[in-house]
């Protein structure tokens, strides 16, 4: 699967303050909701989604961060995951586009939003992030175990000392 980008989602009660902090680090807003309840902050590699706690339909709490991604085609990714034996893969329509939901090998829900040309009323920003800045989510687990295999199914590969 090409075109998959990591985008952890951080839930916060103070989205403007969190956005200002991430801008200080070099991330730039890419897409923002009209009501200020969502902002995609883009780095040279990867993104961070900021989501208000008040509008969370999952019951997220202040400071919670969930692993998620953005992909070119969630239908294609769903087929790839299903062929690889990943269970509970579901694609559904959301107000902002299509989303794939599945569980990782440890049972956590992971969401993949489909990249869309239709902004569904969201505002597009044109700021350029610091090009060598990368978003790297951290999950403490055996990279050679089931999580590593699952991430490879998504088309990601292991880099660094764990190789």
Question: Where in the chain are the domains?
Answer: 5-153
> And the tokens for 32?
């923002």
Residues 6+ apart with CB under 8 A from 161: none
DSSP 141: S
- Residues 68-116 pLDDT 10s: 999 999 999 999 999 988 888 999 988 778 999 999 888 888 899 998 7
Question: CA of 93: how far to CAs of 52, 75, 101, 114, in Å?
Answer: 20, 12, 11, 10
- Residue 30 near residue 41 (C-beta atoms within 8 A): yes
- Residue 133 near residue 45 (C-beta atoms within 8 A): yes
> And the tokens for 18?
């969190």
pLDDT of residue 54: 87
- Residues 15-25 pLDDT 10s: 999 999 999 99
> Is the pLDDT assigned to residue 162 strictly greater than 70?
no
Q: Per CATH, the architecture of 5-153 is what?
A: Roll (3.10)
Name the band, by pLDDT with cuts 50, 70 and 90, for residue 60.
confident
């Amino acid at each position: 699967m090409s075109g998959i980008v990591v985008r952890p989602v951080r839930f916060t009660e103070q989205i403007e303050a969190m956005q200002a902090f991430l801008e200080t680090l070099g991330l730039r807003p890419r897409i923002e909701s009209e009501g200020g309840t969502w902002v995609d902050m883009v780095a040279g590699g990867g993104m961070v989604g900021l989501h208000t706690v008040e509008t969370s339909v999952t019951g997220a709490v202040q400071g919670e961060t969930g692993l998620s991604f953005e992909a070119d085609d969630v239908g294609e990714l769903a087929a790839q995951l299903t062929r690889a034996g990943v269970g509970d893969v579901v694609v559904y329509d959301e107000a902002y586009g299509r989303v794939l939901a599945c569980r990782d090998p440890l049972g956590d829900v992971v969401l993949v939003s489909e990249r869309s040309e239709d902004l569904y009323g969201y505002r597009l920003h044109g700021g350029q992030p610091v090009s060598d800045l990368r978003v790297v989510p951290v999950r403490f687990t055996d990279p050679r175990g089931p999580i590593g295999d699952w991430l490879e199914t998504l088309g990601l590969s292991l880099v660094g000392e764990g190789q």
